[in-house]
Amino acid sequence: MRSQVNRILLLCLACEAIAFSQDTHYAPRGQLIPAPDCFALKGAWTGAANRACRPEDHQEWLRDITHWRMERLIRVGYNGWRYAGAPLKWAQSSFIQPQMMVQDRYFYDPEKGAYTVDRYLDDLETRYGGIDSVLIWPTYPNLGIDNRNQLDMIRSMPGGVVGVSKMIADFHRRNVRVLFPMMMWDQGTRDPGKPWPQAIAELMKEIGADGINGDTQDGVPLAFSEAAEKLGAPLAFEPEGSPSDEALAWNVLTWGQYTGDFGFVPGVDRFRWLEPRHMVNISDRWNRNKNNDLQYAFFNGEGWESWENIWGIWNGVTQRDAEATRRMATIERSIASFLTSSGWEPFYPMHRYGVYASRWPLGVQTVWTIVNRNEYDVEGRQMSVPSNPRARYFDLYHGVELTPEKEGDESVLSFPLERHGFGAVIATDGLPDSDMQQLLQKMKAMTAAPLSSYSSEWKPMNQKLVETAAATHPSNSENMIPIPGGSFLFKVEGIEIEGSDDIGVDVQYPWEDSPRRFHEHTLQVKPFLMDKYPVTNAEFKQFLDATHYHPKDDLNFLRDWTAGSYPQGWDKKPVTWVSLEDARAYAAWAGKRLPHEWEWQFAAEGTDGRTYPWGDNWQPDAAPLPYKARTMRGPAEVGAHPSGASPFGVMDMVGNVWQWTDEFTDEHTRAAILRGGSYYQPQGSIWYFPQAYRNQQHGKLLLMAPGYDRSGGVGFRCVADLQ
């Protein structure tokens, strides 16, 4: 019986192999369709000789993948009506799209309390030629610090929904489309109370957004497109991962995450080949050399995710890559109509090894996009075209006309290509139109200097610790614990989910020359006083009553209070929904300051390097029980867990509320170090803001504006300096 089953299985496998081989000889590998076999460089040890690809090799390969495309579209019942309609047509020329963190200081000025869209766009225009769309990211990695869900985080941005709407209008004024992310892993925070497709579509319509990026999604389900269309506000959906071929009909954008698949010979993007109107933005976030991204994009007529601010970690584009982006994008924007041609012909035959081109016919004109993958310049004969006495050829990259050399029934075009460089040619009857002539003039000036003259050096961005003024006169030191100070081995690790141990991750202390995840340094800690408990609601109300303090940005300020007071019975609970600025204002009133992180850790750890304030092993009674619902119950009263005392007697350091300490800034980012973790633990995903209960761990909360930064999981305690 078993042998019969095995024979049946083998027969089925054989049938599948036959069917597959009939489908194509060049099956996609992930998102990329492989090049013709003749491009493969063969080593002498293989016993096979290298040979140039012949025209018949190219035609055989092209017929194969064209047949595969036709059959795939039939098999999935493809209907491309969303690409044909005006509402989403913008996506077809969305070549450069940064993922932009809302905490970027070029986007929002926390001192002025205003969005600075023009400053943000002007900077990108100067550095690499501007953008076509922007993916604005307000959620991860802060998501999960409390129970605000992904849409609540958008509503918490400065000005709320009205402010966000005006900010989007500023982008639209500069002809830049706006996308936001959605993360379907966000099932542990506040329930939106309605189906996610409806909730997302309604908010996007309200703020005037243009599209949605599907974080961690291999295709955004059709229900999301239909929900937006039902409201009369279609959205361009862009999954992070590869959608199914069927989903291509409603996911009009995709990321191309080719990392690890960048071969010397570029691959043909599967989805771009199935539907040339489909825009792919290559995303290779951590790589510091973007040449593969840019060359693969240019070869495929697609775009690039120009992602520099990666979760508050700055991975800036080098001068060379920035200039290459400017040149590539300038050409692509000018020939956008060619790059959606159904007659796209990848791997148009070229004369020189390592030079690859795509042919894009449109009417009586044709454009070629060309990349030189070699590490050396290639000059002279590059390509042959059928002889046409009426045709004129122009080198779009260098902005000059080419003189063809006739060879039989063909004409040979010669032009230079620098190493790892780009090229573009247009064939037209007579003079190009005025727009194309302007492009030629622009590119001639732009390419006067070679890309090699621009620096390829990558550098991390330095950070600074925001200075804290001394505080030597606390108004009330009754509930403060003296910390003697002394020599302290400050050893701490950032708990960022991503970034590995790359330079630039986490923060940079004054004694370090760059940001990094792991820190170790011996300090002489000066004696100080520390609040025995976190500041309570009752204490914060005393401050309000005495000063009538009210923040200019009052979004989410004391969100769990009503009519100017905390809920009944909450007097001894730590105050939350206070920003770093609110906490500093209280501390100044009290004649105190917020602790430096190493002071907080010294008070928690003492001199014996213990894991938790109370010792080396976790004690369930030393901190509140974690709360894992989609709501927040509020923190425990201070002093409710006396067994959690630190070596110096400081209480409630771990597991009740996170506590504000130091702030770090660089040119683009702001972040605060949080200590101690909180009681709130949203469930269902690894991507929520992780806890840091151990003494030698800290959390890094990205800062934008007080209303956005305030959290139901964050409180604070104060310190004072001892003279």
- The pLDDT assigned to 605 comes to 96
- The pLDDT assigned to 261 comes to 87
What does residue 518 show for φ and ψ, rounded to 5 degrees?
A: -105, 130
| Distance separating alpha carbons of residues 556 and 576, to the nearest angstrom | 10
Domain spans, the chain: 464-721
| Distance separating alpha carbons of residues 255 and 253, to the nearest angstrom | 7
- The pLDDT assigned to 253 comes to 97
Give the type of residue at 24: T
Which structure tokens are listed for 103? 């905490």
- The pLDDT assigned to 6 comes to 47
- The pLDDT assigned to 15 comes to 44
Q: pTM for the whole thing?
A: 0.95
Mean pLDDT for each consecutive 10-residue tract of the chain (723 residues)? 46 43 80 92 70 88 96 95 96 98 97 97 98 98 98 98 98 98 98 98 98 96 98 98 94 93 95 98 95 98 97 96 98 98 97 97 97 97 94 97 94 98 96 95 98 97 95 91 96 96 96 97 97 98 98 97 97 98 98 98 96 97 97 97 98 98 97 98 97 98 98 98 89
| Distance separating alpha carbons of residues 479 and 471, to the nearest angstrom | 16
Please name the fold of domain 464-721: paralog of FGE (formylglycine-generating enzyme) (3.90.1580)
- The pLDDT assigned to 53 comes to 85
- The pLDDT assigned to 24 comes to 86
- The pLDDT assigned to 5 comes to 43
| Distance separating alpha carbons of residues 329 and 642, to the nearest angstrom | 62
What are the E-state strand segments in 184-277? 211-215, 236-239, 253-256, 268-269
- The pLDDT assigned to 40 comes to 84
